[in-house]
Amino acid sequence: MPELPEIETVKLQLEKILIGQKLKDIKILSGKIVRGNLDSVKGKSVKSVKRMGKVLLIDFGSDLLLGFHFKMTGQLIYEDGGKRIVGGHPTEDFVNKMPSNHTRVIFNFDKGTLYFNDQRLFGWVEINPKFVDKLGPEPFEIDEKKFVELVCKRKKPIKLVLMEQDVISGVGNIYANDACWEAKVNPRRLANTLTAKQFSDLYKGMIKVLEEGIKYGGATAADAKYIDLHGLGGHYQDHFRVYDREGEECLRGDGIVHKFVLGGRGTYYCPKCQV
């Protein structure tokens, strides 16, 4: 489930090899995930690689940004001779021969090939996606005061507010859960009922878990053993605070991690220390 740190990791990898390369051809294997027409970037060279929230953007200049949304199961794999760069949702495709039966779009560059894979067909590729216009600020671009302004009046559970992309961009289920744990805040608490100290702790907690996610190259998934074996994936999953830890002892040592559904999403917290 790629979130901000996972996409940032992909961005940092791809910009090392993609900048300056010309996009020679695009092969669409599954039109379902392609929004609009991609032809206008054919023949253009990559100027830079960007990220906005959970969206990866390849900048071809001339106001042409090729956007990718990974949703839950999207991944990008770049191959250049023997070299391979992988990112996004970890599956066996990280080490399989490309294209696989999950490959949806193939981008042929000068020196290598970029494969956009997605098991569940929820992701999308689009030039100048309107979605990014609606995004709120990046977590790292706001200070604590601005953070409080953005969330303090909302009458819905704080965890769901953290995940609203038009409030703050890039925070998904994993990091929202862990940020609440860092701040000792119950994810159900309505945002407008938090104390000043809780707002402050939540801001710091959110930044901390996102920074750590980037530091460890993102989370892949708790069950992605083969990624560790091949050393290809991130390791934030080894540092989850509460996410995916149902039934385990709280890392603060007094309480058991509970799981419940909030806004239709799996939510993890320690009833002892998160109030």
Partner DNA sequence: TTGGTTGTTCGTTC
Partner DNA sequence: TGAACGAACAACCA
Among 88, 172, 187, 213, binds DNA (CB under 7 A): 172
The per-type count for the chain, helices as H runs and strands as E runs, is: 6, 12
Q: Residue for token digits 């042409």? A: 64
Smallest distance, DNA to C-beta of residue 43, A: 28
Q: How many residues does the chain have?
A: 275
Nearer to DNA, 190 or 275 (CB): 190
Contact status, residue 151 vs residue 161, Cβ threshold 8 Å: yes
Smallest distance, DNA to C-beta of residue 121, A: 4
10 scored as a contact of DNA (CB under 7 A): no
95 scored as a contact of DNA (CB under 7 A): no
Per-residue contact flags (x/-) with DNA for residues 35 to 64, judged by CB under 7 A: ------------------xx----------
Nearer to DNA, 12 or 221 (CB): 221
Among 29, 38, 98, 121, binds DNA (CB under 7 A): 121
Which is nearest to 107 in space by CA: 17, 42, 19, 14? 42
Residue numbers 246-265 binding DNA by CB under 7 A: 259, 261, 263-265
CA dihedral 93, 123, 159, 247 (to 10 degrees): -30
Sign of the CA dihedral with 232 first, then 235, 237, and 238 last: positive
Contact status, residue 166 vs residue 258, Cβ threshold 8 Å: no
Among 97, 155, 196, 231, binds DNA (CB under 7 A): 155
Which is nearest to 72 in space by CA: 265, 261, 235? 265
Among all residues, which ones are annotated catalytic?
Answer: 2-3, 54, 265
Q: What does the binding site for DNA look like in residue numbers (CB under 7 A)?
A: 1, 3, 53-54, 69, 71-72, 91, 119-122, 131, 134, 154-157, 160, 163, 165, 172-174, 223, 259, 261, 263-266
